[in-house]
Amino acid sequence: MTAPAPLTNTYPSLAGRTVFITGGATGIGAELVSAFAAQKAKVSFVDLQKDAGKSLADTTGASFFECDLRNTGRLADIMAKVGEANGPISVLVNNAADDTRHDFREVTEAYWDDRIAVNLRHAFFAIKAAHSQMLEAGGGSIVNFGSMSWYECQGGMTGYTTSKAAIEGMTRGLARDLGADNIRINTLVPGWVMTPKQKEMWVGEEVKREIERGQSLKSELLPQDICAMALFLASDDARMCTAQSFIVDGGWI
């Protein structure tokens, strides 16, 4: 595996923009917070992980708010406060999700509803909450996070894979509604990204071999590889990109 090069692109259009990221305390989310902060954007993020969120905020200068995204009313209130403090949100990154494994034969209605709430519902209501602010800003960019897992027929987490497939449908379903307001919306589809959580919980030697077989490019897929695409999609350089799915998976699916 080759070592990754640091991110080098600078997007002047992101400087001073108000960026809101869900699930930003750890993993890909933390790299997103750092990457947008490095572009001199005004970054705010939400997460349940209080200590990690505060630490990252101290390091990056971003603003952290503790939030259970199943509480969409609190999410909307936080987004309103961010807009009042930093100016209207013009970049929304719906990153938060939880790929907890489960046996479909043991899933109850309550657990199913919880998986949809954790992995899909909040993204829609974040978009709804951001809409008026993006109108005020004269436009915006929404980056919804999908997953290659359902493309690859990965089992053991139907609530997650169903939600991630629906994210792409939601993106395309909203693109025309939002386009008239100069708001772009795209799905960023990561492959199997080597975050500390993935390495600790799921990626053993057998899975490493599976990833190497699956990817056309044999380097590890890292959070900064995903951030590179997110920055582009959020910037004015991607001004005519909407309703699309951008896959960053090393050539697997």
**Residue 201 to residue 178: CA distance in whole angstroms:** 38
- Starting at the edge strand found earlier in the chain, the sheet holding 42-47 runs 63-66, 42-47, 18-22, 89-94, 140-145, 183-190, 245-248
Q: Which one of the listed residues 11, 111, 151, 160 is annotated catalytic?
A: 160
**Residue 130 to residue 123: CA distance in whole angstroms:** 11
**Residue 158 to residue 12: CA distance in whole angstroms:** 40
Q: Are the CB atoms for 109 and 127 separated by under 8 Å? A: no
Q: Are the CB atoms for 93 and 20 separated by under 8 Å? A: yes
Catalytic residue status for 160: yes
**Residue 217 to residue 253: CA distance in whole angstroms:** 12
SS3 state of residue 221: coil
Q: How many helices (H) and strands (E) does the chain have?
A: 9, 7
Q: What are phi and psi of 18, to 5 degrees?
A: -90, 115
Known catalytic residues?
Answer: 160
